[in-house]
Chain A
């Protein structure tokens, strides 16, 4: 417990102090980099809710990232600038998409579930490509960023702290959900489906609700991402993005609060280092990921806690 508190204290302090420090040495790039990592960490946190606690191996989580981002882009395209509207629609739309995908997918299990979530996300990806009005394959510049009173998401440092607060909030909300009565039911369904049924509740609605919550939370991450890049492209929904999100959760440690955050930082920083090293960085990253799966089974969070 002490270790956990110390970990969060160090993380929070480091992330609060980062912008003034890197701006003092004139390296604003790192503000953007860490902001991007924190935004994707929110997506990883949402995936951990269904993957780590719910045991649902969704290989299509990037879909909600894309839906959230497209919601912002399309609203801005039609002249809606209100940030509240952007974020409400982004979260609502991705929750709805998650409801539709989840309603079909959760009927199946195991390998079918993996392939179906992947296939549905691919379907949305092709939909994004064929939407010529919204940029098609090339993507689209967002006309206006989400406008909030007092908060300007166009300012890099302000957007950084917004992402930071929302990341902490997401981690907090997910940990509250997981430790609630509903979360216990969700974990029970993961560890023993038959016993959960015998106790008198049906796993299907529990899983579906978790799936929808995760979709909505990932939509929030997508809306932030659209504001971060000021650009939307179908590649946000590509299966490589889904795979990357899964790796964040696994590298960090499934079913832990700190895991997805740690994993997002570890994976994206490793990519950043390798990109500086060679153009063909994936040729190194690929085998590293294979090795991490084979040998590093409990993730980074396993170093901090000793539950296993």
Chain B
């Protein structure tokens, strides 16, 4: 086996993993703090990607597009929270799932109305379009490396904000006892809106970064959302550390499975059989992984039982 190729796919897996993490962090934060299941998180990913493409075309600058896309997703997220989701915090998970399902239909169709149903072409910045040589014989796209860096940097910032700042302290306090925090004079509704907005911006960031690699099209959020669910279930709901570990496991397993399962099976069983079984098994791999994790730890790797 070609080790340079394995290393390259490992990096691809890592890049996909940090994209998943950006999504999972927002989702798990919102769930851990507001006890809200937000299926429309994938829609925010899509909104981020579309806004960035539109803003990049409008301003002609990638960085301006990125900034406008982030701010736009933040605002859209806060608007969604204030208009639709705020009333759902006290409801059971079933109501939350259904209402946010309705939001998905709305956002997908709205995007299709504005930008059409066909996939849009999103390009990364020209100054990140090259490759760099990691070691002899292995050239890796610079853009993907930068995504990995941004992902880990975001994880670090997130840890710092939640664990070391006053805002993070309020967030943690609000998660454990909402009424008490409100009684001590914090505007908890505003705090929730801000947290939701930042979760949305993280999803938007994931969408913006993923835009040049995957397709920008209506419904793009749902494909990744379900994998993000797998990430959160594996890592443990409500835990940011779990989201990071789960995201990297899922990203690497999924990418390596798609790349190497078919040739690997080909050495074990007949080639035509591997030809059809390989892709099928590769697409099921992370779900099987999830089933195994749950069989051993029903609350995920870093989850607590309550």
Contacts and interface: CB of A to CB of B under 8 A. Distances in A.
Q: Do A and B come from one complex?
A: yes
Interface of A: 51, 57, 59, 104, 107-108, 110-112, 114-116, 118-120, 122-123, 126-127, 129-133, 239, 243, 246-247, 250, 280-283, 285-290, 293-294
B226 A280 contact: no
Nearest to B108: A282
B102 A293 contact: yes
A294 B88 contact: yes
Contacts, number: 121
B282 to A, nearest CB: 8
Interface of B: 31, 37, 84, 87-88, 93-95, 97-99, 101-110, 112-113, 222, 226, 229-230, 232-233, 237, 276, 279-280, 283-284, 287-288, 290-291, 294-295, 298-300
Contact of B113 (A132, A133, A280, A294): A280
Given A112-B237, A293-B99, A130 B105 contact: no
Contact of B294 (A108, A239, A246, A289): A108
Contact of B97 (A57, A104, A127, A282): A57
A28 B233 CA distance: 48
Nearest to B98: A293
B93 A110 contact: yes
A130 B283 contact: yes
Contact of A119 (B104, B112, B230, B283): B230
Contact of B103 (A111, A130, A133, A290): A290
Given A57-B94, A104-B295, A115 B283 contact: no
A289 B98 contact: yes
Contact of A127 (B88, B113, B280, B299): B280
Given A120-B287, A133-B276, A280-B112, A112 B94 contact: no
Given A114-B37, A130-B280, A285-B105, A108 B298 contact: yes
A53 to B, nearest CB: 14
B284 A126 contact: yes
A131 B232 CA distance: 28
A298 to B, nearest CB: 12
A27 B276 CA distance: 45
Contact of B98 (A129, A239, A250): A250
Contacts of A120: 287, 291
Nearest to A108: B298
A107 B113 contact: no
A115 B300 CA distance: 12
B113 A119 contact: no
B98 A114 contact: no
B93 A57 contact: yes
B229 A115 contact: yes
19 contacts: A51-B94, A111-B31, A111-B37, A112-B233, A114-B37, A118-B226, A118-B229, A119-B230, A123-B284, A129-B283, A132-B276, A246-B97, A247-B98, A250-B98, A280-B113, A281-B109, A286-B103, A286-B105, A290-B106
Nearest to B84: A290
Contact of A286 (B31, B102, B113, B288): B102
A127 B276 contact: no
A112 B88 CA distance: 19
Nearest to B295: A104
A260 to B, nearest CB: 15
Contacts of A129: 283
A37 B276 CA distance: 36
A51 B229 CA distance: 21
A270 to B, nearest CB: 12
Shortest 5 CB-CB distances between A and B: which pairs? A286-B106, A289-B102, A286-B105, A123-B287, A126-B283
A115 B93 contact: no
Contacts of A57: 93-94, 97
Contacts of B107: 286
Nearest to B85: A290
